[in-house]
Amino acid sequence: MPEPLAYLNGRISPISQTTLSIFDLGIVMGASITEMARTFHHEPFHLEGHLERLFRSVKHVGFDVDLTPESLVDLANELIEHNARLVPEHHDLGVSVFITAGTSLIYTGLAGLATHNKPTICVHTFPLPFELWFEKYTAGQHVVTPSARHLPPECLDPKIKSRSRMHWYLADEQARLVDPKAIALLVDRQDNISETSTANFFIVQSGRIMTPTSRNTLPGISQQVVAELADQLDLKFEQRDFQTYDVINADEAFTSSTPYCLLPVTKINGRPIGTGRPGPIYEALLNAWSELVHLDIAGQMQAGAAQRKAEFEAQS
Between CA 73 and CA 69 the distance in angstroms is 6
Between CA 285 and CA 135 the distance in angstroms is 18
Q: Same domain, yes or no, for 170 and 251?
A: yes
Q: Same domain, yes or no, for 17 and 111?
A: yes
Task: Name residues whose C-beta falls within 8 Å of residue 254's C-beta, 6 or more positions apart in sequence.
Answer: 202, 204, 262, 263, 264, 265, 278, 279, 282, 285
Per the structure, the complete domain to which residue 270 belongs is given by 136-300
Using the 3D structure, point to which of 127, 145, 175 is the last residue of a domain: 127
Q: Does residue 181 fall inside a structural domain? A: yes
Q: Same domain, yes or no, for 150 and 266?
A: yes
Q: Same domain, yes or no, for 29 and 178?
A: no
Task: Name residues whose C-beta falls within 8 Å of residue 117's C-beta, 6 or more positions apart in sequence.
Answer: 64, 102
CB distance 186 to 148 below 8 Å: yes
Tell me what pLDDT residue 316 has.
Answer: 78
pTM of the predicted protein model? 0.95
Label residue 92 exposed, middle or buried (CB < 10 Å: 0-12, 13-18, 19+).
buried
Tell me what pLDDT residue 117 has.
Answer: 84
Count of the separate structural domains present in the chain: 2
Q: Same domain, yes or no, for 179 and 274?
A: yes
The CATH number given to whatever domain includes residue 9 is 3.30.470.10
pLDDT of the chain, 316 residues: tens digit per residue: 689 999 999 999 999 999 999 999 999 999 999 999 999 999 999 999 999 999 999 999 999 999 999 999 999 999 999 999 999 999 999 999 999 999 999 998 888 788 788 999 999 999 999 999 999 999 999 999 999 999 898 888 999 999 889 999 999 999 999 999 999 999 999 999 999 999 999 999 999 999 999 998 999 999 999 999 999 999 999 999 999 999 999 999 999 999 999 999 999 999 999 999 999 999 999 999 999 999 999 999 999 999 999 998 988 7
Using the 3D structure, point to which of 103, 127, 151 is the last residue of a domain: 127
Instruction: Please give the single-letter amino acid code of residue 97.
Output: V
Q: Same domain, yes or no, for 155 and 270?
A: yes
Q: Same domain, yes or no, for 159 and 206?
A: yes
Using the 3D structure, point to which of 127, 148, 171 is the last residue of a domain: 127
Q: Does residue 69 fall inside a structural domain? A: yes
Q: Same domain, yes or no, for 27 and 161?
A: no
User: What spatial distance separates the first Cα and last Cα of the chain, rounded to whole Å?
Assistant: 18
